[in-house]
Chains A and B, each alone.
Chain A
Amino acid sequence: MFLANVPWMAVVRFRPRPSARLGFADVWAYTRFWSQGGGVTCGWIPRASGLGTKTDLVSAEPAAFEADIAVLAPKHRSPSPLIVNLAIGFGFVSAAALALAAAGFSLQFGITNIFNLAYGTVMTVGMYTAYTVNVMGGQSIWLGLLSAAAAGAVLSWLMNTYLFTPLIRKGVSLWAVTIVTFAAGIIVGSTLLAVAGTRYKTYRQPVYRAHHFLGVELSTLQLEIIGLAVLILTGLHLLLRYSRLGKQMRATAANPDLARTSGIATAQVTGAAWLLSGALCGVAGVLEALDLTTFTSLTGDTLLLVVVAAAIFGGIGQAYGAMLGALVIGMATELAAVASPSLKNVIAFAILAATLLIRPNGLLPSPTISLTGTS
């Protein structure tokens, strides 16, 4: 077991890996790495991913790790306050990344009425774009994030302009376009699989400091993720509420025909929605990958589950509802992971199922699909 030769690793708890389609290792370890300055980075490390061996981490940040071992064997684990606090921190980070993804998903659905099943794959494309810039290009992760946004936006826009819109003009029904988005996702995803393989990837980044707020422990990176998400979502709110484009988007979402008769160029508005949704998707993908610490060509597909759960929870097509859904599902999944780590996805699904049983069309359904709860 690799833990024996890594003195700097503090293993707090174990969990089975969340996505198991690849036949990689069965156990993930939750680790904290202490640097000399008391810095901390948090994340899930797959045992056999290659990361998690001393060499990889030391080459990422030489001499940054001090010995601090506190191994809790899986059988003797009990949810200590430390773990719960970490989980709350993780909950905020997951919720932040998830909120971006769910808002983008809902925004695009609200305007175009198309369920985009390629969304998870676009997320993965964002992850790999950032990886290319960050690890292969040697640039900072923030530049990677920007390029992921661009890649997601362009890919989504291309798919809409050259595939979905022409099909709808031909009179193909919306559900058929839904399967076409699935097909587009499979094509892009398979290309990624052929090019990038199934190895786990991880971003190159410095070791971060730990901060404490009201007993919750967060690393600088986690704070940055939360801050960035809040910033972007505020921007999205201002855009939708006050800008001309935002008003046009809301009008198109409420009634496309009426919007067109009122002189709104709905085709451009739809294009803008795909761009915006793709950019949010790309950014969310990288933030999720930073939060999970590793990703593969299939990570986005698994994330689609929680994105859909959050979007449906909030009432599909409602950007604000999706943000609320993201907060609820992000927190619930991370806190459930304290009790039993593999409960994470089960909880997300349980919330989805409960929502459907009680309110089949989501928490905030409205007669006309709108982007705001108030319109």
Chain B
Amino acid sequence: MSAAWQLYFITLLVYTGTDAIAVWGLNLQFGQAGILNFAFIIFQSAGAYVASVLTLGPSTSGGGFQHYILGTNLPWPVPIVVAGLAAGALAAVVGQIALRPTRIDFQGMVLLTVAIIVTVVVTDYPGLFNGDAGLAGVPKPMQVGLNLGDVSYGWLYVGLTAAIAALTYSFVRRLTRSPWGRQLRAIRENPSSARSVGLNIDGRRLQAFVLGGAIAGVSGAILVQFVGAWAPASWGYGETFFFFTALIIGGVGTNSGSLLGAVLVFGVIINGIQFLPNFSYTNVTVALQSIALGVAFIAFIWLKPGGLLPEHPEPFRALEADSAVQIESSRVPEGASR
């Protein structure tokens, strides 16, 4: 395989890995807790920014051609951890405001305006995050010390991404199988009855929102260290829609479905086309991809709303063994909450 094609697959695998991590984060928020997080991309973006400034060194290095905050140079994987914490903290702040309305579509609306405003503010105030120009020259972790060629280093990075993805998978899997995860699903299915049996639904939602945000931040951090640059234009609020499409196609609520959706949407349709060697990627291609994904989204909602790997109703004995609360909530008749 030629170097160009090897680099193509490396890029594809790293992107798909990070997007899969992100979709797991969104699955926690949307699939499990039922939060319509239309601002999802800003948490990924925030994580990417934090990881960048923690590896770029002081702002004055490189002749001070770009302006940023917090410039330091921390060893891998500290920037990724801090990026996750920072994105989680941002989610805690945003969640305090955006999760206040009682209806989830109302919350989604507020989150969308949050995403739009963040995009506008970041680009309109270059003094904050360097505006449109963003950041460039983000160093790749350990590249200097290892002294590897582009291709071998690329495969190493694929390995690192896969390792973090595997960690994230086991983490979200444990979370969704825990009583905590079942509480989230109870809230998602019927908030009123969940509240009536004593669940703190605002608290649980906020926890899921913060955890999902932190996971998004980690994914952004891994991606930015691979790409080497951060610009607000590539983290536009419209991108969030593609994460939702991945979830709907793969299967809302299931972690394996999230992975499948990420592979199909990002690995094949978006990045699979975008990074083809010798391929001119134009506005029209972008438009066609968006149209295709929009149509796919609607087709799945229409014909196969559960996605390719749908969530199965939990067997009753699992509930019996674990949580009396869950049984009570599932026994509340549909109409009772109205």
Measuring CB to CB, which residues of chain A are less than 8 angstroms from any residue of chain B?
Answer: 16-21, 23, 26, 115, 117, 163, 166-167, 170, 172, 174-176, 178-180, 182-184, 186-187, 189-191, 193-194, 197-198, 301-302, 304-305, 308-309, 312, 316, 342, 345-346, 348-349, 352-353, 356-357, 360-361
Contact = CB atoms under 8 A, between A and B. Distances in A.
Contacts of A301: 116, 238
B119 interface: yes
B241 A186 contact: yes
A287 to B, nearest CB: 20
Contact of B233 (A23, A166, A172, A190): A23
Most buried by B among A115, A190, A316: A190
B177 to A, nearest CB: 25
Given A353-B97, A361-B101, A182 B241 contact: yes
B298 A183 contact: yes
18 contacts: A20-B120, A20-B233, A23-B132, A26-B131, A183-B241, A190-B286, A190-B294, A191-B291, A194-B284, A194-B288, A301-B116, A305-B117, A305-B120, A312-B110, A342-B121, A346-B121, A349-B113, A352-B110
B105 A115 contact: yes
B298 A356 contact: no
B124 A18 contact: yes
Nearest to B283: A193
Nearest to B108: A178
Contacts of B100: 356-357, 360
B244 A187 contact: no
Most buried by B among A166, A189, A305, A352: A305
Interface in B298-329: 298, 301-302, 305
A180 B104 contact: no
A170 B125 CA distance: 46
B113 A16 contact: no
Contacts of B119: 20-21
Given A20-B119, A26-B126, A187-B294, 7 more contacts: A26-B131, A190-B287, A191-B291, A308-B113, A342-B121, A353-B97, A356-B97
A240 to B, nearest CB: 23
B51 interface: no
List 8 A-B pairs, minimum CB-CB distance, nearest first: A20-B123, A194-B287, A187-B294, A342-B124, A190-B290, A190-B287, A360-B100, A349-B117
B121 A360 contact: no
Interface string B91-135: 000000110111011101110111011011101111000011000
A26 B132 contact: yes
What secondary structure prevails in chain B residues at the interface with A? helix
A345 B117 contact: yes
Interface in B254-292: 283-284, 286-288, 290-291
Contact of B124 (A308, A345, A353): A345
Contacts of B68: none
Contacts of B301: 167, 172, 176, 179-180
Contacts of A305: 113, 116-117, 120
Given A20-B132, A352-B110, A361-B101, A182 B38 contact: yes
Nearest to B132: A20
A190 to B, nearest CB: 4
A117 B111 CA distance: 12
Contact of B120 (A19, A187, A193, A357): A19
B179 to A, nearest CB: 25
Interface of B: 34, 36, 38, 97-98, 100-102, 104-106, 108-110, 112-114, 116-117, 119-121, 123-126, 131-132, 232-233, 236, 238, 241, 244-245, 248, 283-284, 286-288, 290-291, 293-295, 297-298, 301-302, 305
B188 to A, nearest CB: 10
Given A186-B241, A356-B100, A179 B36 contact: yes
A190 B291 CA distance: 6
Contact of B112 (A117, A170, A180): A117
Contacts of B120: 18-20, 302, 305, 345
A227 to B, nearest CB: 30
Contacts of B244: 179, 182
A16 to B, nearest CB: 5
Contacts of A349: 113-114, 117
A361 B109 CA distance: 12
A26 B284 CA distance: 25
B297 A179 contact: yes
Nearest to A174: B105
Contacts of A183: 241, 245, 294, 297-298
A301 B113 CA distance: 10
B332 to A, nearest CB: 18
B283 A194 contact: yes
Contacts of B102: 360-361
Contacts of A357: 97, 100
Contacts of B288: 190, 194
A21 B291 CA distance: 19
Most buried by A among B112, B116, B125, B293: B116
A304 B237 CA distance: 13
B269 to A, nearest CB: 13
Given A172-B305, A184-B298, A360-B100, A193 B286 contact: yes
A163 B101 contact: no
B291 A175 contact: no
A346 B122 CA distance: 11
Nearest to B296: A183
Contacts of A117: 38, 109, 112
Most buried by B among A175, A309, A312: A175
Nearest to A19: B120
A238 to B, nearest CB: 29
Nearest to B297: A183
A308 B109 contact: yes
